[in-house]
Structure 1
Amino acid sequence: MSKGKGKLVDTSAQLDNLPWVEKYRPKSLSDLVSHEDITSTIETFIDANRLPHLLFYGPPGTGKTSTILACARKLYGDHYKSMILELNASDDRGIEVVREQIKNFASTRTMYSSGFKLILLDEADAMTTQAQAALRRVIEKYTKNVRFCIVCNYVSKIIPAIQSRCTRFRFAPLETEQIEKRLETIVEAEGINLTEDGKGALLKLSRGDMRRALNILQACHAAYERVDETAIYNCTGHPHPNDIHQIVHWMLSEEYTTVFQRIESLKQDSGLALQDILEEVHLYLRDVELPSNSKVFLLEALSDIEYRLGEGANETIQLGALVGAFKLGTSLASPQA
């Protein structure tokens, strides 16, 4: 319990109401489950009081934001919130933010320390080129007072001038074992009835993304007493592996019209999106024995269909293209071809 203005605040209740992504966010660099080479290098910078500007990039949910927040705790202790400015560049990405919020924070001296403060610029790859150009000058001008940590998914969208001013670290997708270890801790702490097949499905769907794994687990725990494989797939709306096996079997062996109608019916009954079906069919094809020319043809066709879906193409038409591609692909595999 902590005392607020005239009333007591139950901190344990506040923690229970938090999303698990925040509730179980690592508090220190040693709590992070991966990227030991990166965390050890940053710890060396901090111990030597020579922290440079940082650029973290890599897929979502790999610990980029958690790492810099853990750095802030190590640098400033309990006062870290007043020593760090967090901006999400996908919302505040205009040049005004660079000239006002960042500039104002960077130009003020620290209150609890004689050293520097931190500016965390999240999703910086969403910033406009003009804002990044303005940021370049702010980084140079206020290096004495602040260190910038720029976080993004795609480093190619950060202008070279900013990249050259930062020490870059790439955060790779997490290993399955690393996610599994953290999940076991949370399952025990929350008293979740997670089955082995449910854990396998959760790890498969997470694809190296810890945030995604925790969000799926929390949603399933809220909806089901027993979190098994079926619960995981029902909760996420993701195609079940048995459905994907059936779809591929139909496309490889059945007549075009029959296949199209069956898949369309399955999509409607299970509420599946063609985009999700494409992703799972792609993964399934990697383990199916097909002649090389057929597999290459099908993978190329899948990529074209995914691109068209991303550009807003009609799902029904693209489903027809998917079935047609498999008919052509199987003909390449036949002796007549």
Structure 2
Amino acid sequence: MAEVISPMDIDDSNPSQGPNGNKGKAVASSGGAPPAHTKATPWVEKFRPQSLADVAAHRDIIDTIDRLTSENKMPHLLLYGPPGTGKTSTILAVARKLFGSQMHNMVLELNASDERGIDVVRQQIQDFASTQSFSFGYLFVSVHTFAKFISSFNHQQLVDLGMFVSAKSMVKLVLLDEADAMTKDAQFALRRVIERYTKNTRFALICNNVNKIIPALQSRCTRFRFAPLEPVHVTERLKHVITSEGLDVTEDGLAALVRLSNGDMRKSLNILQSTHMASQQITEEAVYLCTGNPLPKDIEQISYWLLNEPFTFSFQKISEMKATKGLALVDIVREVTMFVFKIKMPSDVRVHLINDLADIEYRLTFGCNDKLQLGSVISTFTRARSALVAAAK
């Protein structure tokens, strides 16, 4: 009987590359505990969920995908929604569940914002999708490696090893992150590749804006929308990180992290880590100081000036606060807009005020003069104040 060859002898692929030497990102990871991390590792990666059970929210979506993979019925997937809502973490957890330690052989991960042209579809993706892989119990090999391996064995030796009995074709996974950045030509080419290699390859597309994905691609995928995370889910995950890292976080500091994240888990972790690097105790003031956002008490003060003081006084005071605290006018306008929702006023006055503030925020994003736009903000509130006085009479 021939000597049994170890997995390292059979699998000659470079773990740092995708199969066939593709340029896809290395996504190798064990299916169990998270990999070791250094202190310099961003917490976004350090605390990325390693399994579907660890994903913070969207349990209905997670349970559906989990059931499909367990029953070996996984379709092509299109995961879309705002950043930081768990799309990439979910599909990576699916890959770990399906392939375990052989994930680097069975998954091709590409970021479509970097590699967005038709050549990527015709070369890397098609080359990867066109080769089949086989499973021998715990071992995965490509069809080319399999052919090279069996060339030195006769039929009886292979039967003795039990390989013919347990060999079965394995479905591979192509993960396309930021797929909405792909050109239209590349998307049409990808549609044809998906049709051609469905038998042995599944495709998972991830994007923020689903409207930029052509209908022909959307119709070939099962779509799941990842909405912004609820504050309770962000809070729960942040508490886990705080406990794991032994951080000193006050209640108002935690509330500030959740408020500024706006349902983006990645953003909340980045703010938490950067604030921890700047301050030993993470308080509300430390969080706002680190991010450059105006404090809620500053917004209340600015709103009071806008609603009660004359134009010149308001302009001078807001300008002084901007200079002293290093605030950006666009952040002030954004926070004041949110504060308007808390003020009691007629609905028609509120709508006009919010629309005017939205126009000012839009102009600021294109680099319009801060002083002119600050004058517009004050004038907008002056008109709203006049409307409130008229309504009161």
Settle same-fold status: TM greater than 0.5. yes
- Residues 37, 46 of structure 2: 8 Å contact kept: no
Aligned residue pairs total 327
Is 1:86 the counterpart of 2:109? The answer is yes
Alignment of 1:208 with 2:208, yes or no, is no
Distance in 1, Cα, partners of 2:301 & 2:121: 53
Provide the aligned C-alpha RMSD in A: 1.7
Q: Deviations over 1:139-191 (max 9, x none)?
A: 11221221111111111111111100000001111111111111111111101
* 2:195 is equivalent to residue 172 of structure 1: no
Q: CA deviation at 1:13?
A: 6.8
Corresponding position of 1:56: 79
> Would you say the 8 A contact 1:294–1:330 is kept in 2?
no
Q: Secondary structure at the match of 1:133?
A: helix
Q: Does 1:275 find its partner at 2:298? A: no
Partner of 2:128: 105
> 1:103 and 1:13 mapped to 2: Cα distance?
33
For 1:93 and 1:317, locate their aligned partners in 2 and report how far apart those are by CA, in whole Å.
Answer: 40
What SS does structure 1 have at the residue aligned with 2:74? coil
AA at the equivalent of 1:191: G
Q: Distance in 2 between matches of 1:16 and 1:185?
A: 17
Whole-angstrom distance in 2 between the partners of 1:333 and 1:312? 32
SS at match of 2:133: coil
2:180 aligns with one of 125, 128, 131: 125
SS in 2 for 1:298: helix
Q: Equivalent of 1:228, from 262, 283, 296?
A: 283
- Out of 372, 376, 382, which is 1:317 matched to? 372
Tell me which residue corresponds to 2:164. Answer: none
SS of 2:37's partner is helix
CA distance in 2, matches of 1:56, 1:49: 19
What's the offset of the Cα at 1:284?
Answer: 0.6
Q: Deviations over 1:221-269 (max 9, x none)?
A: 1111111011100111111101111111111111112212221221122
1:268-298 Cα distance to aligned partner (Å, 9 max, x none): 2212112211221111111111222221111
Tell me what 2:58 maps to.
35
What amino acid is the match of 2:97? K
TM-score, normalised via structure 1 length: 0.93
TM-score scaled by structure 2?
Answer: 0.80
2:213 aligns with 158
**What letter corresponds to residue 277 of structure 2 in structure 1?**
A
Q: Unpaired segments of 5 or more residues in structure 1?
A: 1-10
For 1:59, what is the secondary structure of its paired residue? coil
Task: Provide the rounded CA distance (Å) in 2 between the counterparts of 1:325 and 1:233.
Answer: 27
Q: Is the partner of 2:192 in helix, strand or coil? A: helix
SS in 2 for 1:16: coil
Identity of aligned residues (%): 54
5+ residue gaps, structure 2: 1-33, 135-139, 142-168
Q: Which residue of 2 aligns with 1:260?
A: 315
Work out the CA distance in 1 between the residues paired with 2:54 and 2:124: 31
Q: Considering only CA atoms, is the larger Rg found in Structure 1 or Structure 2?
A: 2
**For residues 302 and 129 of structure 1, what CA distance do their matches in structure 2 show?**
35
Q: Is the 8 A contact 2:112 2:176 kept in 1?
A: yes
1:298-313 aligned at under 5 Å gives the runs 298-313=353-368
